[in-house]
């Protein structure tokens, strides 16, 4: 059984302030934790029920494990249904990605919803995006809801946080730069090249003003023929899926 102090310490990691202070974050669940254990080197502590430990001895070698009761997980978990295992991991110091010719990078502008960011990370992993660069006002990827929504993809690709204007201004002059925008060209009929950088913004606020003068080209997802005019915009994660699918299709087509 976990002590009250231990429970309090873990609970604090659900807050951004303490994650940054301790340089730690939490990943929960029977799918995500084994993936971390098999691929990451930054796991600090595994906390699990005895039942889960007994069933997963093979993946726990060389990892420190602390036993907790099911009722302990009710207190330390952020999930509606408490899991039987969680990992406390150190936050890695990622190097800023450098754009290389032919690569594809997502630039995220003020994405504040953790579910959206987690889904975008998962999509980027699925579609083979080379890097994600996020503005400093995006939700942090260590947020428990981002971790859950990413379904383990944060292990392979995660946002690097920086000033987007600075990052864009340092890009090579020949780097294609697109932004998703309702006033842009039709995604399906535009002749853009499926590489470079794509800027995705919050659907509620649109592209930040400071980026407007930096973007040379904009594209949008057209409505269906029978679409309701009452639908103002797509959720940014949904839009990301459509854009990434189209980019992937064009890349596959252009390689033949």
Residue 93 backbone phi and psi in degrees, to 5: -90, 90
With pLDDT > 70 as the criterion, what percentage of the chain qualifies? 95
Task: Name the pLDDT band for 229 (thresholds 50, 70, 90).
Answer: low
Q: What is the mean pLDDT of residues 171-184?
A: 91
Whether 40 contacts 90, CB under 8 Å: no
- What's the confidence (pLDDT) of residue 203? 75
Closest CA to 237 of 150, 167, 154: 150
Angle at 13 between CA 126 and CA 91, to 5 degrees: 50
Residues 6+ apart with CB under 8 A from 224: none
Q: What is the mean pLDDT of residues 57-63?
A: 86
> Could you give the CA distance from residue 235 to residue 247 in angstroms, rounded to a whole number?
18
Q: Are strands 24-28 and 85-90 parallel, antiparallel or unpaired?
A: antiparallel
Task: Name the pLDDT band for 231 (thresholds 50, 70, 90).
Answer: low
Query: In 3-state terms, what secondary structure has residue 46?
Result: strand
Task: Name the pLDDT band for 216 (thresholds 50, 70, 90).
Answer: confident
Least confident of 27-31, 122-126, 128-132, 172-176: 172-176
Using a 10 angstrom Cβ sphere, with 0-12 exposed, 13-18 middle and 19 or more buried, the burial of residue 126 is middle
- What's the confidence (pLDDT) of residue 202? 85
Residue 57 confidence (pLDDT) above 60:
yes
What domains appear along the chain, each with residue ranges and CATH number?
A: 4-90 (3.30.1330.30), 104-254 (3.40.1280.10)
- What's the confidence (pLDDT) of residue 223? 87
Query: What is the largest distance, in Å, between two alpha-carbon atoms of the chain?
Result: 61
- The residues that bridge with 131 in the sheet, in sequence order, are 105
Task: Name the pLDDT band for 255 (thresholds 50, 70, 90).
Answer: low
Summarize pLDDT for 91-122 with one digit per residue, the tens. 988 888 989 988 999 999 999 999 999 999 99
Q: What is the mean pLDDT of residues 170-183?
A: 91
First and final CA of the chain: distance in angstroms?
59
Residue 62 confidence (pLDDT) above 90:
no
Residue 226 confidence (pLDDT) above 80:
no
Task: Output the average pLDDT for the chain.
Answer: 91
- What's the confidence (pLDDT) of residue 205? 76
Q: CA separation (Å) from 19 to 51, 114, 142? A: 28, 15, 8
């Amino acid at each position: 059984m976990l002590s009250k102090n231990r429970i309090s310490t873990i609970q604090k990691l659900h807050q951004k302030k303490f994650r940054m202070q301790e340089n730690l974050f939490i990943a929960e669940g029977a799918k995500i934790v084994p993936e971390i254990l098999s691929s990451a080197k930054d796991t600090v502590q595994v906390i699990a029920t005895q039942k889960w430990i007994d069933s997963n001895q093979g993946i726990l070698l060389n990892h420190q494990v602390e036993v907790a009761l099911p009722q302990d997980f009710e207190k330390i978990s952020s999930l509606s249904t408490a899991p039987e295992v969680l990992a406390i991991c150190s936050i890695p110091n990622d190097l800023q990605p450098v754009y290389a010719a032919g690569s594809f990078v997502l630039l995220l502008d003020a994405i504040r919803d953790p579910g959206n960011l987690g889904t975008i990370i998962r999509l980027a992993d699925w579609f083979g995006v080379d890097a994600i660069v996020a503005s400093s006002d995006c939700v942090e990827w260590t947020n428990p809801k981002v971790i859950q929504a990413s379904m383990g993809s944060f292990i392979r690709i995660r946002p690097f946080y920086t000033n987007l204007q600075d990052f864009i201004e340092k890009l090579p002059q020949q780097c294609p730069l697109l932004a998703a925008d309702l006033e842009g060209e039709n995604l399906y009929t535009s002749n853009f090249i499926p590489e470079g950088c794509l800027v995705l913004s919050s659907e509620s606020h649109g592209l930040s003003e400071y980026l407007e003068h930096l973007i040379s080209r904009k594209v949008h997802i057209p409505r269906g023929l029978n679409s309701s005019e009452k639908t103002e915009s797509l959720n940014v994660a949904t839009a990301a899926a459509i854009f990434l699918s189209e980019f992937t299709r064009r890349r596959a087509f252009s390689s033949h």
